[in-house]
Structure 1
Amino acid sequence: MFTTRPTLQGTFGMVSTTHWLASQSAMAVLEEDGNAYDAAVAAGFVLHVVEPHLNGPAGEVPILLAPAGGAVQVLCGQGPAPAGASIAHYRSLGLDAVPGTGPLAAAVPGAFDAWMVLLRDHGTRSLAEVLKYAIGYAADGHPPVENVGAAVTAVRELFEKEWPTSAAVYLPDGRPPRAGDLFRNPALAATWRRLVTEAEAEAQSDADAEAKGGVGAAGSAGGARSRRVREIEAARRIWREGFIADALIRQSGRPTLDTSGSAHVGTLTHADLAAFHAHYEAPATYDWNGWTLCKAGPWSQGPSLLQQLALLPGPDELPAPGSTEYVHLLIEGCKLAMADREAWYGDATDVPLAALLSPEYSAARRTLIGERASYELRPGSPDGRAPRLCAAATAGIADGYAMGTPQPGVGEPTVARDGRTRGDTCHLDVVDRWGNMVAATPSGGWLQSNPVVPELGFPLGTRLQMTWLEPGLPASLTPGRRPRTTLTPSLALCDGVPVLAFGTPGGDQQDQWQLHFFLGVALREQVRGTLDLQGAIDAPHWHNDSFTSSFFPRGMRPGSVTVEDRIGADVIDGLRARGHHVTVGGPWSEGRLCAVARDPRTGILSAAANPRGMQGYAVGR
């Protein structure tokens, strides 16, 4: 089939990210003998600079990693709700929902610490070596993509009237960043330079003190590694307890106009920052037709992709890919999985994940998929337990399709002049010549989500908007618990060996587009001896909004389906005949997938990136 680009192949290293500068920075790290994890950290910090409307250092990132010869792990960079972020506190402010912007919506920042833990435990490069690319683009400038300027333009009035620290960074000379110009963020560059300087000094001081005590050998390879680890640990401490922590807490305490229409202060404290540490978890997994798909646990929406796979009939029983029957089947299965997400997923110990993925439960749920589009939110009863839905979901069912008109899923946030946003995300995948593989989906800390912290050059996040101010729900706002996130990178094993890392931005749409991609890879013939990654990315995609949105103002559109027009008039007509409310988007309006792969038989590496949005690129050799 025709593809927009080739699936890249090589044996040295492959990178795919949502921005070409991040991809090439990661590749530069590989060329300097860094590994996949060094490269991923460098790319992650570059994405903070070049896609500030989609992610930032005070946001969050789930990371899936498959060390060569080791087991797949999840590194959780999702911070919890602060200790003071209780339902009672928000209700006392007269709120019935967590605002979509402002410090009240800020969880404990998690991204920075996750990147540092990845670098410490699996990388080989120093803090300065991985940060130099981000520092260079922030200090010397980079040509911004058009969507940065569009996001700033949409909130210009808010910045000028209410968030002057953001105007100082994103309205230089009184105008938004423009494609073709150089855009700089000197405050951010200064933050990372100071961090590196202080971390190096602290690490050297510790090493000197240790040497005086007669411990260690400063000139040995082990001593060099120890200094590297010391620098990273010092950087983590500075983030949690030093000048960065001080600035974040000051910002949280500044009254800020948010989507409620009032100014509020946040709940974040020094104790919250000091207590957070990124940590490892075992992945949630599901076996399908020789593949094992690995996702983060039900504190993310990741298991919804596993449930969608479990709801499918056997590969030999699937309708022809791309047909009306195929698209209808995937849409209806997605509705059932996302209904279970709403009823059961959250940061809790009693999520019945094994039951949700069991063959018996999946078989019973599969019988609910009929020939017509469903307009109901239908969670199941795993282990006989009764589901409980939030009030917004119940209202959404009652209001039906009148909730609103679906929009093409271009993957960029929509931003209104009053500061309301639907946040979006970045993604990166890396595989190196040793077989190390990583997939990460950084998000949050968007430039339009909170005012820029003037001393630092970046804002706080707003992930708490995904929680409910109703007690007793899996995703209720609870101090110390992680908000259920939409961020959901993927790793896939074939016959038990890591083969494929992939993911996409897109909020609630991520595990819809990833299912289409994964099936496109798993069911399609190989190209030149490797997986047809680019063909699966370029194929027409779609999404539905028949469940409660994770983002403020939390609407839902039962029966909605949004498709790329390339899907074909016959499929569009067929879906409408089955009762779907179809919105036809542009030919390249759905999905922003990235992917890398490794053939364990030959060691051949491959990569592909999404052409939609005109900024995602794969590189490698």
Structure 2
Amino acid sequence: MSWTFAPSRVSTRSVFTTRPTLQGTHGMVSSTHWLASATAMAVLEDDGNAFDAAVAAGFVLHVVEPHLNGPAGEVPIILAPAGQPPRVLCGQGPAPAGATVSHYTSLGLDLVPGTGPLAAAVPGAFDAWMLLLRDHGTKTLAQVLRYAIGYAEHGHPAVERIGAAIAAVRDLFEREWTSSAEVYLRGGRPPRPGELLRNPALAATWRRVIAEAEAAGPGRETQIDAARRIWREGFIAEAIAAAAARPTMDTSGERHAGTLTAGDLAAFEAQYEDPVTYDWRGWTVAKCGLWSQGPAFLQQLALLPEDLEYGTPDYLHTLVEGTKLAMADREAWYGDNTDIAPETLLSREYNDARRALIGADASTELRPGAPGGRQPRLSKQAELSIGGAVPPPPAAGTGEPTVAKDGATRGDTCHLDVADRWGNLVAATPSGGWLQSNPVIPALGFPLGTRLQMAWLDEGLPNSLVPGRRPRTTLSPSMALRDGVPVMAFGTPGGDQQDQWSVQFFLAVALRENVRGGPDLQGAIDAPNWHTDSFPSSFYPRAMQPGSVTVESRIGDAAIAGLRRRGHDVTVAGPWSEGRLCAVARDPETGVLSAAANPRGMQGYAAGR
């Protein structure tokens, strides 16, 4: 196997890159923050494997990107141990037992709030990281947590966007969420860029977990399982359940208690699953199942015609329209409560019929398909969004946290990928539990998440709010294989944009020339990107913008004019505003590893040697 891959029509234009694609043979890391990448590399240098490195970096991301994720959030992981096929490790928790549609509608709600304990699913990230470490890592709990403890206890230089996110919710923190103000408004103001930001309560939480786990007995696995029990049934579970029961101001403008209980926490365990896969021109792409939006990536590939030339106006138009069709299916058919098989949505017959809907002009309709003759049904709120009754939110740029005028907050996501010298690959997308989701739990140093906001309060939909069911998430790591061998792990933050930006990155790798005998990861990340909001958002208040497409200005005047001629409602954004990809790769023939990271946002970095 080699990276050489020559489809019939390939653009050979040279592409300016902001950084080189890193290459080496020892280990490669890419993440959305340089301190997480450096942490993962330190673990690899200490003879840890890719899974040890990913866990250590994941906990560091909780500290250094608190506006994007936290310990009480969630994380889907795709892992491929050396010589084995990829597997999904699901760290997405379900709706609590008390989270029924009738309970929420009895409170006068037609949507799950975007903040507050009513929006909290069962936290899934901690158990997933622990399971990854126990089953596939080599390091102890104390060895992987020491990096996060150090940054939380001694501080890390705050990036500019942390301060901006805190400033946006400052009034809420000072009036209502005072425990958050104590952590993030020390001195009465947000941290300045480069100012050390500390979270001693979080450091103390992890120190106590280590101490109690080590007291449970000798042995790495014994201590990791003890830590899992502490989270589910010990002091952490007690503090989480008490916080969920406390009435809290949320985006409804009212104070509500949540539904999450100690019983919900005790019942949850992360789980392994088979990925959903699709074969495309010699590649196989593996994604999480229909409880995520991951299969929308695969549907976009399935909708592409054979003779499309990369980068042309026809290419852009066709890909935008295919994205709309895939995301329309996401709205109608995806969820943890669906009985549609992914294979049905990815079948040749189904996609040939769907592809025929792509015409010469842009569509402004939401057009879900009817797989097997079954008629789609949408939520009432989606219908309102389609009709324009829900005003679109302000542009969110690269998916960073946004705050509406009514105080509604939305966070974003992190991503990390690791490849090691033994052939292990892992991609993970941590999210949720960000600082603007819920008040900080004083005894723990972190807040609850808000993932239930993605479930509908309509009965009988695949993504209806149902106790024990996972809300359909936007979190979507990716892994690509050649000839059945995992060779590339990648992903991005960005909510609904994740499986738009990731597709464009993948196509830029697959349909362009390679560099230095490996994939041009950095060139593919740096290539001009775009997204469409022509479907209901997964985030409160669930708006959509029919016919829209937002492009980076670097895409060029000809491409912009071509899209507008076809009827697209084009917004020209900044030259580096779309996409936040991370990627690593491994050539199984040579052992050469590659990595690259997104320059947008000034936080993502790759490291390796």
Taking structure 2 as the reference length, the TM-score comes to 0.97
Match of 1:145 among 132, 152, 159: 159
Match of 2:602 among 605, 608, 614: 614
Q: How does 1:232-311 map to 2 (within 5 A)?
A: 232-311=224-303
Instruction: Measure the CA separation in 1 of the matches of 2:373 and 2:582.
Output: 39
Instruction: Measure the CA separation in 2 of the matches of 1:105 and 1:399.
Output: 25
Match of 1:228 among 194, 216, 220: 220
Following superposition, the deviation at residue 421 of structure 1 comes to: 1.9
Equivalent position of 2:450 in the other structure: 462
Q: Deviations over 1:361-408 (max 9, x none)?
A: 0000000000100000000011111111111222222239x9437626
Equivalent position of 1:222 in the other structure: none
Equivalent position of 2:10 in the other structure: none
Contact 1:285-1:295 within 8 A present in 2 as well: yes
Contact 1:104-1:265 within 8 A present in 2 as well: yes
Q: Which runs of 5+ in 1 are unaligned?
A: 205-226
Instruction: Measure the CA separation in 1 of the matches of 2:394 and 2:544.
Output: 9
Match of 2:420 among 432, 439, 448: 432
Instruction: Measure the CA separation in 2 of the matches of 1:25 and 1:615.
Output: 14
Match of 2:308 among 297, 300, 318: 318
Q: Count how many residue pairs are aligned between Structure 1 and Structure 2.
A: 595
Match of 1:479 among 444, 467, 470: 467
Q: Secondary structure at the match of 2:197?
A: coil
Contact 1:140-1:184 within 8 A present in 2 as well: yes
Equivalent position of 1:584 in the other structure: 572
Q: Deviations over 1:26-76 (max 9, x none)?
A: 000000000000000000000000000000000000000000011210000
Q: How does 1:459-538 map to 2 (within 5 A)?
A: 459-538=447-526
Equivalent position of 2:346 in the other structure: 357
Contact 1:154-1:416 within 8 A present in 2 as well: no
Following superposition, the deviation at residue 352 of structure 1 comes to: 2.9
Instruction: Measure the CA separation in 2 of the matches of 1:272 and 1:396.
Output: 33
Q: Deviations over 1:303-349 (max 9, x none)?
A: 000000000012xx013x22221111110000000000000000025
Contact 1:63-1:77 within 8 A present in 2 as well: yes
Contact 2:158-2:196 within 8 A present in 1 as well: yes
Q: Deviations over 1:248-298 (max 9, x none)?
A: 011001110000000000011111000000000000000000000000000
Following superposition, the deviation at residue 173 of structure 1 comes to: 1.1
1:36 aligns with 2:50: yes
User: RMSD value over aligned CA atoms?
Assistant: 1.1
1:187 aligns with 2:178: no
Instruction: Measure the CA separation in 2 of the matches of 1:616 and 1:572.
Output: 28
Instruction: Measure the CA separation in 2 of the matches of 1:158 and 1:92.
Output: 26
Contact 1:27-1:39 within 8 A present in 2 as well: yes
Return closer, same or farther for 1:340/1:349 CA change in 2, 3 Å cut-off.
closer
Contact 1:405-1:557 within 8 A present in 2 as well: no
Amino acid at match of 2:264: D
Contact 1:408-1:585 within 8 A present in 2 as well: no
Instruction: Measure the CA separation in 2 of the matches of 1:106 and 1:405.
Output: 22
Equivalent position of 1:345 in the other structure: 334
Amino acid at match of 1:341: R
Return closer, same or farther for 1:118/1:358 CA change in 2, 3 Å cut-off.
same
Q: Which runs of 5+ in 2 are unaligned?
A: 1-14
Contact 2:477-2:490 within 8 A present in 1 as well: yes
Equivalent position of 1:196 in the other structure: 210
- Greater Cα shift, 570-579 or 60-69: 570-579
Q: Secondary structure at the match of 1:15?
A: strand
1:398 aligns with 2:406: no
1:413 aligns with 2:427: no
Instruction: Measure the CA separation in 2 of the matches of 1:539 and 1:395.
Output: 35
Instruction: Measure the CA separation in 2 of the matches of 1:412 and 1:141.
Output: 22
Equivalent position of 2:23 in the other structure: 9
Q: Deviations over 1:525-553 (max 9, x none)?
A: 11010000000000000000000000000
* Greater than 6 Å deviation, 4+ residue runs: none
Equivalent position of 1:207 in the other structure: none
Amino acid at match of 1:492: A
Amino acid at match of 1:238: I
Contact 1:100-1:552 within 8 A present in 2 as well: yes
Equivalent position of 2:94 in the other structure: 80
Instruction: Measure the CA separation in 2 of the matches of 1:423 and 1:169.
Output: 18
Q: Deviations over 1:143-173 (max 9, x none)?
A: 0111100000000000000000000000011
Instruction: Measure the CA separation in 2 of the matches of 1:384 and 1:175.
Output: 57
- Greater Cα shift, 172-181 or 414-423: 414-423
Following superposition, the deviation at residue 451 of structure 1 comes to: 0.2
Following superposition, the deviation at residue 25 of structure 1 comes to: 0.2
Contact 1:596-1:608 within 8 A present in 2 as well: yes
Equivalent position of 1:215 in the other structure: none
Match of 1:101 among 97, 115, 124: 115
Equivalent position of 2:5 in the other structure: none
1:25 aligns with 2:25: no
Instruction: Measure the CA separation in 2 of the matches of 1:78 and 1:612.
Output: 27
Instruction: Measure the CA separation in 2 of the matches of 1:44 and 1:483.
Output: 22
Equivalent position of 1:548 in the other structure: 536
Contact 2:393-2:543 within 8 A present in 1 as well: no
Q: Deviations over 1:492-531 (max 9, x none)?
A: 0011111100000000000000010000000111101000
Following superposition, the deviation at residue 429 of structure 1 comes to: 0.1
Amino acid at match of 1:273: L
Following superposition, the deviation at residue 415 of structure 1 comes to: 1.7
Equivalent position of 1:69 in the other structure: 83
Contact 1:609-1:617 within 8 A present in 2 as well: yes
Instruction: Measure the CA separation in 1 of the matches of 2:345 and 2:318.
Output: 19
- Greater Cα shift, 494-503 or 343-352: 343-352
Instruction: Measure the CA separation in 1 of the matches of 2:321 and 2:396.
Output: 19
Taking structure 1 as the reference length, the TM-score comes to 0.95
Instruction: Measure the CA separation in 1 of the matches of 2:54 and 2:383.
Output: 41
Amino acid at match of 1:77: G
Instruction: Measure the CA separation in 2 of the matches of 1:370 and 1:407.
Output: 28
Q: Secondary structure at the match of 2:426?
A: strand
Amino acid at match of 2:504: H
Q: Secondary structure at the match of 1:176?
A: coil
Following superposition, the deviation at residue 465 of structure 1 comes to: 0.1
1:450 aligns with 2:438: yes
Q: Deviations over 1:427-480 (max 9, x none)?
A: 000000000000000000010010000000000000000001000111000000
Equivalent position of 1:115 in the other structure: 129
Contact 1:99-1:552 within 8 A present in 2 as well: yes
Contact 1:419-1:448 within 8 A present in 2 as well: no
- Greater Cα shift, 405-414 or 31-40: 405-414
Contact 1:492-1:498 within 8 A present in 2 as well: yes
Amino acid at match of 1:121: D
Amino acid at match of 2:46: E
Contact 1:155-1:416 within 8 A present in 2 as well: no
Contact 1:9-1:604 within 8 A present in 2 as well: yes
Equivalent position of 1:367 in the other structure: 356
Instruction: Measure the CA separation in 1 of the matches of 2:582 and 2:82.
Output: 21
